[in-house]
Amino acid sequence: MAPWWAKGSHKGTSLVVKMENPNWSMVELEAPSEEDFLIGSTPTGSREKIRGKNAKQLTWVLLLKAHRAAGCLTSITSTFLSFGSTVRRRVASGRTDDNDIETDENKAVKTGFYNCIKVFLWLSLLLFCFEIAAYFKGWHFGAPNLQLQYILSVPVGFKDLFDWLYTHWVLIRVAYLAPPLQFLANVCIVLFLIQSMDRLILCLGCFWIRLKKIKPIPKHEAVADLESGEDSFFPMVLIQIPMCNEKEVYQQSIAAVCSLDWPKSRILIQVLDDSDDPMTQLLIKEEVHKWQQEGAHIVYRHRVLRDGYKAGNLKSAMSCSYVEDYEFVAIFDADFQPSPDFLKRTVPHFKDNEDLGLVQTRWSFVNKDDNLLTRLQNINLSFHFEVEQQVNGVFINFFGFNGTAGVWRIKALEESGGWLERTTVEDMDIAVRAHLRGWKFIFLNDVECQCELPESYEAYRKQQHRWHSGPMQLFRLCLPDIIRAKISVWKKFNMIFLFFLLRKLILPFYSFTLFCIILPMTMFVPEAELPAWVVCYIPATMSFLNILPAPKSFPFIVPYLLFENTMSVTKFNAMVSGLFQLGSSYEWVVTKKFGRSSEGDLVSLVEKGPKHQRVGSEPNLDEIQADLKQEQKTRKTKHNRIYTKELALAFLLLTASARSLLSAQGIHFYFLLFQGISFLLVGLDLIGEQFRVRPQ
């Protein structure tokens, strides 16, 4: 009896394989027929025919595999050619980060730091050439004791000039260079371990919060009062939207705030426009006017004297006489879009909690998957909010205000001295002063406010410089006040050592010094050593802990580790500038936004028609197209830059990796190699938004 698959006269289903190469034609491959399964009962001639057909099919399958392999090689080659072309154009353009230096003082500071890096680079190149020459002369590149044995085993009379020079170089290394380098390495290792322990404790605290399901919960009476719908239970809330030349995002923020679910008679929206561009001022003023016609309680304010940056803007707005009628103030930066129930989920926490001064919410990012840079930022900020902010909020009721997406009790602001323009981190400044006054903070991890991440490395670099120089400015100013404050010794220790020194000063110091300076120097002074667990295992563990709040980003754990070390040069430079009050520490550059989310909102608005409740004022299609064309025109004028400090460090690390390869130091070689490549990519501005400039 024939098997079931051999029943009928079906000869097999044809399989069509399409080859993309135009020199190859399409061919039909037949699927197995009943003859293929009855080989044992078929004549010899039929067997040969079947074998020939199977061989033909196998040949075409192999050709298909070869075609795919050729396509893969072509793609790789095209990628490398494109990469080389991009690098060539970037180098030929000659645009570097030095073009952004405006004052002579800033130029002197940045040039001095760059010159220090160049000294290490040239010294490493000189030593590398010296070591290669020694290698061909028969010197060992292993442990230091082998080198000393070689020195002692060669009679003095038989040594030529090079051997004499290298002998004295090794002795100088052992006697004078290795001890201080090893001491500095040990200090950095201790700081590294302390900071790693702090991070581990924070992660354990976050795990405990999740395990016990701990989160701030407003009193039931407050929630019931809001649900009753009577205006008498809704406190007066002031909304502030500070902005400066941010025409890409002003519509989405104003629309989102005007759509908050709160009685219009109990809310006032202040659009605080510090723009110096007349066209931007006109657009924002027109948008406010449109919402006023829709019935929103919104006002437009523009300062004539734009002193104090954002702090001066907020301070000026709080000086209005009508502010006395309001109990709370919510602040949103120009790219933030709160959900309609934002106030209903934050304001109830203040009821019957007179010590509460601030309710901070979490940020979420509309463009976190746009490029590698935004993905890495998402990892960092997810850890910051879910671990640092949440743990500090639950256990000590203190953390740094993020400057936006938070609600303040106006009484807390006034008792703490209000907004001050003395630093570039006015948000952290007011938080520290409020904490010293005894006010408590809570963080709501389950309330999110959408915003936009910087997509270009230039914008991210400037943002990080401000975020890391400002805390050091503030630390110098606040240290006497912290010491004199009438708070517990534990709170003083937490604020001085953990909040400022460990997380704002020690972290960028050891990260840059240990991995960018000491590690490559130990390749040329092998008598000073860094253990493999310092170079690989602990950093990998810390990166794993950092990425836990964003589990979908786990494939980017290695780029994240390398990029964090790469950013250490910017953070270290900013930390030193802020600590010693150098010129660059007072730079305030508004983080550039592209309005990624607003474009989608505008397009959906045109498709859906006039729905003012959530999206905003109804612009016509011509206006939308004009705005988008203007945005594209603006982007064309932008350029990617070359960052000299990052490039110098890239060559330093790559030179050290080559030296470690000669010494057969495996884990050190791989770390230095990949870290050097990371610095090279960042130095050539190949991470983040790539601006394509059309030739004129």
Helix (H) and strand (E) counts in the chain: 26, 9
Set 97, 273, 333, 427: catalytic member: 427
Give, to the nearest 10 degrees, the angle between helix 557-579 and helix 372-383: 70
Between CA 174 and CA 168 the distance in angstroms is: 10
| Annotated catalytic residue 355 | no
CB 495 within 8 A of CB 435: yes
The residue among 475, 483, 371, 369 whose CA lies nearest residue 428 is 475
The residue among 692, 639, 630 whose CA lies nearest residue 247 is 630
Residue type (1 letter), 19: M
Set 97, 163, 274, 429: catalytic member: 274
CB 668 within 8 A of CB 526: no
Structure tokens at 149: 């044995």
Q: 406-409 and 356-365 as β-strands: parallel, antiparallel, unpaired?
A: antiparallel
Between CA 539 and CA 519 the distance in angstroms is: 14
Structure tokens at 345: 């989920």
User: Residue 48 to residues 10, 39, 56, 234: CA-CA distances in angstroms?
Assistant: 21, 10, 12, 90
Give the list of residues 6+ apart from residue 457 with CB closer than 8 angstroms, or none.
Answer: 373, 643, 682, 685, 687, 688, 689
What number of other Cβ atoms are within 10 A of residue 244's Cβ? 18
CA dihedral of 489, 490, 491, 493, whole degrees rounded to 10: 90
| Annotated catalytic residue 274 | yes
Residue type (1 letter), 565: N
Helix (H, G, I), strand (E, B) or coil at 317: helix
Helix (H, G, I), strand (E, B) or coil at 351: coil
Residue with tokens 């006497």: 480
The residue among 519, 311, 324, 312 whose CA lies nearest residue 403 is 311
CB 179 within 8 A of CB 523: no
CB 468 within 8 A of CB 386: no
Between CA 382 and CA 389 the distance in angstroms is: 10
The residue among 512, 518, 516 whose CA lies nearest residue 576 is 512
| Active-site amino acid positions | 274, 427
